Amino acid sequence: MTAQKTLVAPAHVGAIAPYQAGKPIEELAREFGLDPAGIVKLASNENPLGMPESARQAMLAAAASLARYPDPNGFDLKAALAERYGVPANWLTLGNGSNDILEIVALALLEPGTSAVYARHSFAVYRLATQARGARHIVVPARDYGHDLDAMFDAIEADTRVVFIANPNNPTGTFVPGDEIARFLERVEQAHGTRVTVVLDEAYNEYLDPELRFDSTALVRRHPNLIVSRTFSKAYGLAGLRVGFSVAQPALTDLLNRVRQPFNVNTLAQAAAIAALADAEYLQRAYEANKAGKEQLYRAFEALSLRYVPGYGNFVLVHVGDAPGVNLALLKRGVIVRPVAGDDLPEWLRVTVGLPAENARFIDALTEILSA
Ligand SMILES: *Cc1c(COP(=O)(O)O)cnc(C)c1O
């Protein structure tokens, strides 16, 4: 207590409630004396297929140059992304995960006396990044567990600089169709010009069914106040490497690069991301496995008469009532899922789609717990 009193930090930093990450397998093994090999982790929306072999090979080759700093401008990765998305390389910013992109946006645009708008039950990092800058939070009530864009538009105030939208959303898994996003962007720009920047966080984009996907880079071309962020952590299977990126017009991208750490994406991550981006077969396999796994979870929840929110990402939000109790019982059985009380969803659990056998382990454990 006394030590705390002598430390001098901004009040808004002291008030931050730290990010609650999914429990690591090793930690659960230690806590409950379990064999790590028997633990199933469905808690952090990681790709159950494991990293792409193509990325592993690229990393091994890149390891030869690790005495050197990484390419600070990510030339090769940006070239590959530019080709894939049909945008000039100077529209791209690389991040140490897309979390880093979100932090960079907050660093570039927020300060005390400004505000950020985001939805209730949306990604926790919006709150953290906003708070770290001493900016004000404008949290907009959700509609059917997802973004209510009309309410979010109405919530924008004179000091608002950033609006964060996760699409699909985490932890609820909801999705806003492309035409609604486009209409929102038109309204924001018409009413506020480029004073308000919209961050469209598409971490789960690759899991969308093809008919739902829309061309968000076309929206970036139309709107100088739009940032689209993507990640290699989810469908590309590279969460441990930390690499993400954003697409925005050059003026906005230039601002982001002013506050970005020069070497924020390491050499191995850059090499692996280039390989993963070219690995269409892996991505397709990830998409299909996820679709099948979600069906497996839905059927189980229906059989158990549990309410769930159909998810557009690689996870499902399920209503279990006594979430802390069910979570503890799952942990004792070696199954890690994600409680989401911190996201104002105290009766729900978020379950990442795993391999068929992993999903089955979770379903069996849950069935046992609920029928006890
Ligand atoms: C997982 C996730 C991210 C970012 O993850 P990184 O590993 O930092 O790229 C960003 N936004 C949402 C909504 C997520 O769920």
* Token pair recorded at residue 138: 């404008």
Pairwise CA distance, residues 342 & 93, whole Å? 30
Q: What is the mean pLDDT of residues 260-265?
A: 96
Cis bond upstream, residue 171 (ω within 30): yes
Mean residue pLDDT across the chain = 96
Pairwise CA distance, residues 94 & 86, whole Å? 16
337-371: pLDDT as tens digits:
999 999 999 999 999 999 999 999 999 999 999 99
Q: Is 253 in the pocket of ligand 1 (CB under 6 A)?
A: no
Using 50, 70 and 90 to split pLDDT, how confident is the model at 372?
A: confident
Q: Which of 45, 99, 205, 338 to mutate to test the pocket of ligand 1 (most atoms within 8 A of CB)?
A: 99
**Bridging pattern class, strands 40-41 and 335-336:** parallel
Ligand 1 nearest atom to the CA of residue 242, by list position: 7
Q: Is 96 in the pocket of ligand 1 (CB under 6 A)?
A: no
123 plus 257 within the same structural domain? yes
Predicted confidence (pLDDT) at residue 35 exceeds the cutoff of 80: yes
Backbone φ/ψ region at 97: left (φ over 0), alpha (ψ -120 to 50), beta: left
Which residues, in sequence order, are bridge partners of residue 143?
A: 146
Using 50, 70 and 90 to split pLDDT, how confident is the model at 182?
A: very high
Q: What is the mean pLDDT of residues 9-21?
A: 86
Predicted confidence (pLDDT) at residue 3 exceeds the cutoff of 70: no
Q: Examine residue 6 and state whether it is found in any structural domain, yes or no.
A: no
276-321: pLDDT as tens digits:
999 999 999 999 999 999 999 999 999 999 999 999 999 999 999 9
pTM of the entire predicted model:
0.96
Q: Count how many domains the chain has.
A: 2
Q: Which helix (H) or strand (E) holds 247?
A: strand 244-247
Q: Is 99 in the pocket of ligand 1 (CB under 6 A)?
A: yes
Of all protein residues, whose CA lies closest to atom 2 belonging to ligand 1? 203
248 plus 317 within the same structural domain? no
18-34: pLDDT as tens digits:
887 778 999 999 999 99
- The 92-95 sheet, strands edge to edge: 92-95, 244-247, 226-231, 197-201, 160-166, 115-119, 136-140
226 plus 316 within the same structural domain? no
Using 50, 70 and 90 to split pLDDT, how confident is the model at 1?
A: very low
* Token pair recorded at residue 55: 């990325």
Where does a domain end: 218, 243, 278?
Answer: 278
Q: What is the mean pLDDT of residues 253-267?
A: 97
Where does a domain end: 278, 293, 315?
Answer: 278
255 plus 332 within the same structural domain? no
* Token pair recorded at residue 332: 């004792």
78: phi then psi, degrees, rounded to nearest 5: -65, -35
Predicted confidence (pLDDT) at residue 4 exceeds the cutoff of 90: no
169 plus 250 within the same structural domain? yes
Where does a domain end: 256, 278, 300?
Answer: 278
Ligand 1 nearest atom to the CA of residue 171, by list position: 15
